[in-house]
Chains A and B, each alone.
Chain A
Amino acid sequence: MNTMFALLLGARLLGARLLGGELLGRLVAVAAPAGGLADPPKVPPSPSFWMPNSASNFAGATDGIFDALLWISLLCMFGLALAIVSFCRRYRATSREANEAAESQVDHSNTLEITWSIIPLFVVIGVFVVGFKQFVDLKTPPRAAYEVHATGQRWKWGFEYPEGLTHPELHVPLGKDVRVLIQSVDVIHSLYIPEFRVKQDAVPGRYTELWFKPTQVGTFPIYCAEYCGTSHSDMLSRVVVHTPEDFQAWVAEEIRKIEAMPLAELGELTFNQAGCSTCHSLDGSAKVGPTFKGVFGRQEKIFGQGTIVVDENYLRESILEPQAKLVEGFPPAMPTFKGQLSDRRILGLVEYIKTSASTGEPVPKAAAPDSAAPENKDAPPSNSPADAKGGHP
């Protein structure tokens, strides 16, 4: 117990000092880039020592059972420490030479055994019942919930809204029940929102779900909690809780932005959101598919069909029917995007590949300063424009 408190206190004090950078500079000589993330989600400070902010209907119940168990545990550890320390002091042998016999050789007591079996049994039964009830709540979304589809993909989250909007962040209205239907297109991921106390694995080949009712306006981090490879720890996003009016306005504005976006910019957005960047590089390196660097106008050897020059028609065909003309040396791995991307999106992609992806020039941006498309594909885009009618499956 004392150790525990000392540790807690120590962690707090040292943590504060480290945060202040006093010790940090001396302990860590290695200069590290700021988090390695271009734009990490901010964790708002929490009033609780243990738990993050409480921003959903589940936080109260989950924190309640945690607190109860924490106090039971502290009580147990206090008793244990008391017993160990006092027995070691009272019954400590003076020396081996003294050959002292133990005061008592009593070696069993059924009363005691039954007592210390029954009491913990009742405690754990109680805890189990509470946990069960809460779990059933967590697993039972209300019928009239607002539904968002979440898709996990190495290494980003995508959210599709019923209004026909796809966005890398989860935006939700305050006080409304929200049901998130989760899927994965590659390996297992896990959608985790600590401030909501919810988590659910995204399993390829099936839908899973979670639900919550946001109770606090704000922006909170979303993590991937199931290990999924290289950039698992960068598979971050945000949940943004708006008031219901703001939420409607946000959705409308995002849809308007997409519609107003110049083609090449929309193409770049699609390139990052639809998963193209997973297999096609921009820097000339070969991934699963050919690089986009210098691709437009390039002569490519087509598997079994001679040589062609990459033009708009070839690009469009490759998006809709990827297996029709395969560049030699690459596997037939690309899924079709027929019916998955809007015409305008495909046009945008073709435009983007033709211009900046091929040449390396930056995409010319629209005049509005708030519609900058994400440049860094590794970082979760923050205020990036959303997208109407599109995204990957």
Chain B
Amino acid sequence: MTSPSATADVLAPPAESDSDNYLTHDKGILSWLLTLDHKRIGVMYLMCVLGAFALGGLFALLVRTELLTPGKTIVEHDTYNQLFTLHGAVMVFLVIIPGIPAALGNFVLPLQLGAKDVAFPRLNLASWYLWVVGALFLVASLVTNAADTGWTFYTPYSTTTTTSVIPALFGAFILGFSSIFTGLNFITTMHKLRPPGMTWFRMPLFLWALYSTAVIQVLATPVLAITLLLLIVERFVGIGIFDPALGGDPVLFQHFFWFYSHPAVYIMIVPAFGVVSEIIASFSRKRIFGYKFIALSSVAIAILGFLVWGHHLFVSGQSVLAGTIFSGITFLIAIPTAIKVFNWIATMYKGRIHLDTPMLYALFFLWVFSIGGLTGIMLGVMSLDVHLHDTYFVVAHFHYVMMGGAVTAFFGGLHFWWPKMFGRMYDEKWGRTACGLLFVGLNLTFFPQFILGTRGMPRRYYNYLPEFQPLHQLSSMGAYLMGIAFLIVAIYLLRSLRKPMDAPANPWGANTLEWRTVSPPPYYNFHEAPEVAEGPYEYADWVYDKRERGYVRKTRGGTPHPGTSTGS
């Protein structure tokens, strides 16, 4: 705490907390590269993920610029194909999958749980290094001859193209292990390192979401690993698993690939549900509605998510029976998802709503994610999917879910925990402005793509018929607007780092444990081991203190406790 509050009714925080926090505990680049501190690993992940996001965003802007006109605008066919492949691969494997769990989750999970660190700190560091190596492989192909297969690597195209597919596959393979390590670590941490009083049903919903995600990461990712490995071997020596010329089956690849990649969609979106649950409850100053339903619906989604991969294959030649089963289970997932949305809305009902930047992101999420979810139902209808499959409708749908859902929640979480991570408040006015611009930009980019899709414009098209040009141009304008908005976010966040630390321990009045320690937290997270005697969404004891510019906790006797001390 740098803001001094030497008033009599506030207990003085322990002496070292003024200077000592995890950011200042050790100095030098090696103290970061060899750190075992989950908070530093989280921050390193955050920097890498944001860097990859900028790169993937640049590819997206190039793709959208190329699509301003049919035929050549700025690049040739092959370059365009490489650009959308890189955009997809970078955004999926480097940004959205590790975004919330590895970057935000690493920082927040032990704090929220009340633990000193994750269960296996060295494994945690190893997962970051694997991410870096995997990212290098994936991006290294940029300077050679980037893959042009699309991020899905469908055979036999991927085994016959002359571009460097193997480095990209190997990169994704390594990134998979990074993801498995993180998942393993989180599961163990939540099972073994809960402090006294932290029962399963007192865990914040973000942790429930991370737990469900971790289960998927650990169970599904090995399937991707073995699939990519088979593909690499097929390319190297032609073993004939997927290539029909050698007795293989190209549709088998699609089954393998989606057996991972559909659950992976939930690796991307379930943590977002967690973030949104935290934000909506905190900013409505009200207990979350239907805690158990939200928590268990994450688990239900994680389980059902394993059984729907075939809905990507309705027109691939898969049997009608298989399609029917996959379609049916796909619809079942709508139920736990709908339950979450209804419970979030019910949480806001009769709350006291503060519309700060994180809450704006959460509301933004509710709107765009619902559009993504409802269009997902349309795509789950087999007959309708025959028309819409592989058109821009699908592109719009998964961007509403991935960009509008996962990325929006990631940025909401980033704004929510930014004061905790770096001890600084960002400029609230710019925060809200950028969020508003993003909202307009995102809808402007992706809504026209629904219309393109229903009218029959296939995806991954370099060239298109002139009839589709106006909608493509609208979409590109939206993309530029989002580019500007993200630039604004980068500027005000970086600027906040230059000022002295001014964030209170608990700027939002949230009741999860990370807000009971100083901002930024000390090296060992808590000055006193936290004890948990209540659920995570009890806000009655938190009172806003003007001098603190944050919330402090009343003791049971009625005297306010500083937010810096651990509650009891």
Interface residues of A (CB under 8 A from B): 3-4, 7, 11, 14-16, 18-19, 24, 27-28, 30, 32-37, 40-41, 43, 46, 49-52, 58, 61-62, 65-66, 69-70, 72-73, 76-77, 80-81, 83-84, 87-88, 91-93, 96-97, 99-109, 112-113, 116-117, 120-121, 124-125, 127-128, 130-132, 134-139, 186-188, 190, 192, 194-195, 197-201, 203-206, 208, 221, 223-234
Contact A199 B470 (CB under 8 A): no
Cβ-defined partner of B290 (8 Å) among A40, A107, A136: A107
Closest to A61 in B: B383
Between-chain CB contacts (< 8 Å), 24 pairs: A18-B470, A19-B469, A28-B68, A32-B73, A36-B71, A62-B383, A72-B374, A73-B371, A83-B348, A102-B352, A103-B350, A112-B290, A116-B342, A120-B335, A131-B383, A135-B324, A187-B156, A192-B458, A201-B316, A204-B250, A224-B458, A233-B458, A233-B463, A234-B463
Contact B383 A65 (CB under 8 A): yes
Contact B386 A66 (CB under 8 A): no
Contact B444 A230 (CB under 8 A): no
Which residues in chain B, 132-166, are within 8 Å of chain A measured between CB atoms?
148-150, 154, 156-157, 160-161
Asked if B307 lies at the interface with its beta carbon under 8 angstroms from chain A, I say no
Asked if B291 lies at the interface with its beta carbon under 8 angstroms from chain A, I say yes
Asked if B50 lies at the interface with its beta carbon under 8 angstroms from chain A, I say no
Cβ-defined partner of B454 (8 Å) among A4, A35, A51, A77: A51
Which residues in chain B, 520-561, are within 8 Å of chain A measured between CB atoms?
537, 539-540, 543-544, 546
Looking at the assembled complex, report how far the CB atom of B354 sits from the nearest CB atom of chain A, in whole angstroms.
5
Known pairs A11-B447, A14-B474, A91-B349; list 16 more (Cβ under 8 Å): A18-B474, A24-B469, A32-B70, A51-B454, A76-B374, A83-B345, A84-B367, A87-B353, A101-B539, A109-B290, A131-B384, A134-B382, A139-B320, A186-B160, A188-B156, A199-B386
Write out the residue numbers on chain B whose beta carbons fall within 8 Å of the beta carbon of A51.
454-455
Write out the residue numbers on chain A whose beta carbons fall within 8 Å of the beta carbon of B354.
92-93, 96
Asked if B286 lies at the interface with its beta carbon under 8 angstroms from chain A, I say yes
Which residues in chain B, 453-496, are within 8 Å of chain A measured between CB atoms?
454-456, 458-467, 469-471, 473-474, 477
Contact A232 B250 (CB under 8 A): no
Closest to A119 in B: B338
Write out the residue numbers on chain A whose beta carbons fall within 8 Å of the beta carbon of B154.
188, 226-227
Contact A138 B383 (CB under 8 A): yes
Name the residue among B355, B367, B537 with the largest chain A CB count within 10 angstroms: B367
Contact A28 B473 (CB under 8 A): yes
Stretch at the interface among B108-116, B191-199, B326-334, B510-518: B326-334
Cβ-defined partner of A93 (8 Å) among B285, B367, B471: B285
Write out the residue numbers on chain B whose beta carbons fall within 8 Å of the beta carbon of A4.
447
Give Cα A101 to B509, complex, Å: 12
Asked if B346 lies at the interface with its beta carbon under 8 angstroms from chain A, I say yes
Cβ-defined partner of B338 (8 Å) among A120, A131, A204: A120
Which residues in chain B, 313-364, are within 8 Å of chain A measured between CB atoms?
314-317, 320, 323-324, 327-328, 331-332, 334-335, 338-339, 341-343, 345-346, 348-355, 363
Give Cα A12 to B529, complex, Å: 60
Write out the residue numbers on chain A whose beta carbons fall within 8 Å of the beta carbon of B467.
43
Give Cα A239 to B414, complex, Å: 51
Asked if B21 lies at the interface with its beta carbon under 8 angstroms from chain A, I say no
Asked if B35 lies at the interface with its beta carbon under 8 angstroms from chain A, I say no
Give Cα A229 to B463, complex, Å: 13
Name the residue among B244, B245, B335, B455 with the largest chain A CB count within 10 angstroms: B455
Asked if B34 lies at the interface with its beta carbon under 8 angstroms from chain A, I say no
Closest to B328 in A: A128
Asked if B249 lies at the interface with its beta carbon under 8 angstroms from chain A, I say yes
Give Cα A36 to B69, complex, Å: 10
Stretch at the interface among B208-216, B270-278, B387-395: B387-395
Asked if B26 lies at the interface with its beta carbon under 8 angstroms from chain A, I say no
Looking at the assembled complex, report how far the CB atom of B342 sits from the nearest CB atom of chain A, in whole angstroms.
4
Cβ-defined partner of B378 (8 Å) among A66, A76, A134, A225: A66
Give Cα A2 to B422, complex, Å: 38
Write out the residue numbers on chain A whose beta carbons fall within 8 Å of the beta carbon of B544.
96-97, 99
Write out the residue numbers on chain A whose beta carbons fall within 8 Å of the beta carbon of B377.
69, 73, 124, 127
Closest to B285 in A: A102
Cβ-defined partner of B463 (8 Å) among A14, A15, A36, A108: A36
Contact B72 A128 (CB under 8 A): no
Asked if B78 lies at the interface with its beta carbon under 8 angstroms from chain A, I say yes
Chain B window 165-184, contacts with chain A (Cβ cutoff 8 Å), 1 for yes, 0 for no: 00000000000000000000
Write out the residue numbers on chain A whose beta carbons fall within 8 Å of the beta carbon of B249.
205
Contact B72 A36 (CB under 8 A): yes
Cβ-defined partner of B382 (8 Å) among A18, A132, A206: A132
